Chains A and B, each alone.
Chain A
Amino acid sequence: MSRRTWSSFAVAALGLILPVWAHAAGTGAAQPGAEGLWKGCLIYKQAELEADVIVELARAADGKWVGTLDLPNQRIQFHPLSNIKVEGSAVTFDFNRFAQKAQVMVETPYTGTLSADGNTITGDFFEGKKSHRALTLTRIGAPGSERPEPRMADLRPLSDSSEELRALFNRDAGKTRLLILLSPT
Chain B
Amino acid sequence: MQKYVLETIPDDNLRVYVVWGPMLGEEEEKDAKEATAHLPDPRVTHFWTPTHVLAEGMDGPLGIEGSRAWDTFQLFGPDARWGETPPVPAFMMQVNKPLPPETRLNGEKLAQKVREILATK
Contact = CB atoms under 8 A, between A and B. Distances in A.
A184 to B, nearest CB: 4
Contact of B82 (A48, A150, A152, A166): A166
A8 interface: no
A50 to B, nearest CB: 7
A47 B15 contact: no
Interface string A139-170: 00000000000111111111110101110111
A183 B27 contact: yes
Given A151-B37, A152-B37, A158 B78 contact: no
Contact of A183 (B11, B14, B16, B21): B21
A172 B76 CA distance: 11
Given A47-B4, A155-B32, A182 B47 contact: no
Interface stretch (A29-37, A91-99, A124-132, A173-181): A173-181
A181 B54 contact: yes
Contact of B37 (A150, A168, A172): A150
Interface residues of B, number: 68
A182 B20 contact: yes
B30 to A, nearest CB: 9
A166 to B, nearest CB: 5
A181 B35 CA distance: 13
A181 B58 contact: yes
A3 B3 CA distance: 24
Nearest to A183: B23
B78 A173 contact: yes
Contacts, number: 169
Contacts of B104: 48
A180 B14 CA distance: 13
B105 A48 contact: yes
A27 interface: no
A74 interface: no
Interface in B59-99: 69-82, 86, 89
Given A156-B47, A158-B54, A178 B31 contact: no
A155 B73 CA distance: 19
B12 to A, nearest CB: 8
A157 B33 CA distance: 11
Interface of A: 46-48, 50, 72-73, 150-160, 162, 164-166, 168-170, 172-185
13 contacts: A48-B106, A153-B36, A153-B40, A155-B29, A165-B47, A165-B82, A169-B80, A174-B78, A176-B11, A182-B19, A183-B24, A183-B70, A183-B71
Given A47-B107, A169-B17, A176-B77, 18 more contacts: A46-B108, A151-B40, A152-B34, A155-B29, A158-B47, A160-B53, A164-B47, A165-B82, A174-B121, A176-B14, A176-B114, A178-B5, A179-B76, A181-B55, A182-B70, A183-B20, A183-B23, A183-B70
